[in-house]
């Protein structure tokens, strides 16, 4: 399979380069692609290249030329060499890189527009537009959802790790009227104890035992019925919040959910929400929360894209490769609308752009996605 992929990539590079070697026209649109075709993240680079091939097939405009170059993996020299090659080939708009850490290097090229796939910073800088699924866009979607569910006491939860300061800054934009912040240890052995305190678990446990002892002394029918009901539960009394926003991923998220369930937080009374999971099905099997909600890209488009990608290339795409597909559509749309692309200002439009990921817009100097809310239920992702 690796040999087949390598050969296929070789032909794709020839396709791109032959387009570049064809007779150039004044009305050609040249788009650079910075992707890690070597190093630790080379599989991501290949996936981005495949995705752009799909986008080119759909656009079907022979005046659209792609200049792919290897930006390496965490290699500043290779990144700068790749940018200079693209610029010298006549392109002033480049897709990539995918990581935020390279932004300082990009700022050197003031006359070049970079459409980054990073989700870390949605703000539009002098020459960089990030179209990744930002935390701001996700929080906006969750705020609207929580308000629509008429929840009024929200806990925003996230771990104490290398991303804490970043999240601290981002959640300042939360507009919920009544919310509290709860930071927890990333150590799964400690999380349960911390969440027990958050949920007042010990007191609720004592409330149950005291009530049961009181009822055990009574013999009337109402007391007997109530006692039977209490035998089926683990605590007595409600928690002091009615919704949760858990900003976490992977096994750490699963540990938090397990601790909340252990602390007897009822998801029929408390709204459980988290951030974008890219439809990770492992959450079905290692999660005892029946209804977990999260904002995400359009599921139908995501499935269609993945199926088309696999049909053409016989491998599964990297999750963020769909952003490269939409980047082509965005650039092409602006180019057709403006007749040219000179600077980032050409992208500041009132129109809402519909892509594979959904709809996004440019507001107050930021790129914001209009995300759908999905929930996990019965081992399925269901649009809310």
- The answer on 177 and 66 residing in a single domain is no
pLDDT at 15: 47
pLDDT at 25: 56
- Give, for 81, the enclosing helix (H) or strand (E): helix 76-88
Q: What pLDDT score does 322 carry?
A: 93
What is the distance in angstroms between the CA of the first residue and the CA of the last residue of the chain?
39
Residue 101: its pLDDT value, please? Answer: 79
Is there a single domain that holds both residue 233 and residue 363?
no
Same domain, 91 and 163: no
Reported pTM = 0.85
Give me the half-sphere count of Cα atoms (radius 13 Å) on the Cβ side of residue 247. 26
SS3 state of residue 8: helix
The closest alpha carbon to 262, from 234, 241, 236, 239, belongs to: 234
Q: Domain residues for 305?
A: 2-133+299-369
Q: Is residue 150 domain-shared with residue 245, that is, in the same domain?
A: yes
177 shares its domain with 267: yes
What is the CB neighbour count within 10 angstroms for residue 159?
A: 22
Are 115 and 143 members of one domain?
A: no
Are residue 120 and residue 256 in the same domain, yes or no? no
Q: What is the CA radius of gyration of the chain?
A: 25
Q: DSSP assignment of 130-156, as one string? A: E-S--HHHHHHHHHHHHHHTT---EEE
Q: What is the largest CA-CA distance in the chain?
A: 96
Check if the beta carbon of residue 109 is closer than 8 Å to that of residue 102.
no
Specify the CATH number for the domain of residue 318. 3.40.50.2300
Look at the block and give the residue holding tokens 């399925």.
Answer: 380
CA dist 259 and 319 (Å) reads 29
Q: Are residues 244 and 378 in the same domain?
A: yes
Q: Are residues 254 and 344 in the same domain?
A: no
Q: Which of 129, 59, 91, 68 is nearest to 340 (CA)?
A: 91
From the number of C-beta atoms within 10 Å of its C-beta (0-12, 13-18, 19+), residue 18 rates as exposed
Same domain, 318 and 261: no
Quickly tell me which residue has 């029929």 as its tokens: 268
Number of domains in the chain: 2
Residues 95 and 151 in one domain: no
Give, in order, the Cα–Cα distances in Å from 239 to each of 146, 198, 230, 242, 290.
Answer: 17, 8, 17, 8, 18
Q: From CA 319, how far away is CA 100, in angstroms rounded?
A: 17
pLDDT tens, N- to C-terminus, the chain (384 residues): 444 444 444 444 544 544 444 445 557 899 999 999 988 888 999 999 999 999 999 998 888 999 999 998 878 899 999 999 999 999 999 998 877 778 888 989 999 999 999 888 887 888 999 998 889 999 999 999 999 999 999 999 999 999 999 999 988 888 888 899 999 999 988 999 999 999 999 999 999 889 888 988 888 888 888 888 888 888 888 999 999 999 998 889 989 999 999 999 998 899 999 997 788 887 777 667 888 999 999 999 999 999 999 999 999 999 889 999 999 999 999 999 998 899 999 998 888 888 888 888 888 788 888 899 999 888 889 998
- Same-domain status, 108 and 165: no
């Amino acid at each position: 399979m690796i040999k087949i992929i390598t050969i296929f990539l070789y032909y794709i590079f020839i396709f791109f380069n032959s387009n570049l070697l064809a007779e150039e026209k004044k009305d050609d649109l040249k788009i650079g692609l910075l992707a890690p075709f070597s190093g630790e993240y080379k599989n991501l680079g290949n996936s981005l290249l495949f995705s752009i091939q799909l986008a080119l097939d759909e656009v079907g405009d022979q005046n659209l030329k792609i200049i792919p170059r290897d930006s390496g993996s965490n290699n500043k020299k290779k990144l700068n060499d790749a940018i200079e090659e693209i610029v010298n080939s006549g392109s002033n708009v480049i897709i990539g890189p995918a990581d935020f850490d390279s932004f300082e290097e990009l700022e050197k090229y003031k006359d070049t527009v970079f459409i980054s796939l990073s989700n870390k910073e949605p703000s539009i800088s002098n020459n960089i537009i990030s179209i990744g699924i930002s935390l701001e866009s996700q929080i906006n979607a969750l705020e609207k959802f929580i308000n629509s569910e008429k929840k009024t006491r929200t806990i925003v939860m996230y771990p104490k790790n290398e991303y804490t300061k970043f999240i601290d800054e981002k959640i300042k934009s939360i507009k919920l009227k009544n919310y509290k912040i709860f930071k927890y240890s990333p150590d799964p052995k400690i999380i349960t104890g911390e969440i027990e305190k958050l949920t007042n678990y010990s007191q609720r446990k004592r409330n149950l035992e005291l009530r049961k002892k009181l009822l055990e002394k009574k013999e009337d029918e109402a007391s007997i019925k109530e006692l039977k009901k209490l035998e089926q539960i683990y605590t007595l009394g409600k928690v002091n919040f009615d919704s949760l926003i858990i900003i976490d991923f992977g096994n750490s998220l699963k540990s938090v959910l397990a601790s909340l369930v252990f602390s007897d937080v009822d998801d029929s009374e408390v709204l459980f929400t988290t951030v974008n999971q890219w439809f990770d099905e492992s959450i079905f099997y290692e999660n005892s929360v029946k209804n977990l909600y999260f904002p995400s890209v359009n599921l139908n488009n995501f499935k269609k894209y993945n199926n088309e990608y696999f049909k053409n290339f016989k491998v599964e795409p990297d999750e963020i490769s769909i952003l490269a597909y939409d980047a082509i559509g965005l650039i092409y749309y602006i180019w057709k609308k403006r007749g040219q692309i000179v600077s980032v200002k050409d992208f500041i439009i009132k129109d809402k752009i519909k892509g594979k990921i959904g709809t996004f817009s440019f507001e107050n100097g930021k790129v914001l996605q209009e995300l759908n809310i999905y929930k996990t239920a019965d081992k399925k992702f269901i649009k809310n």
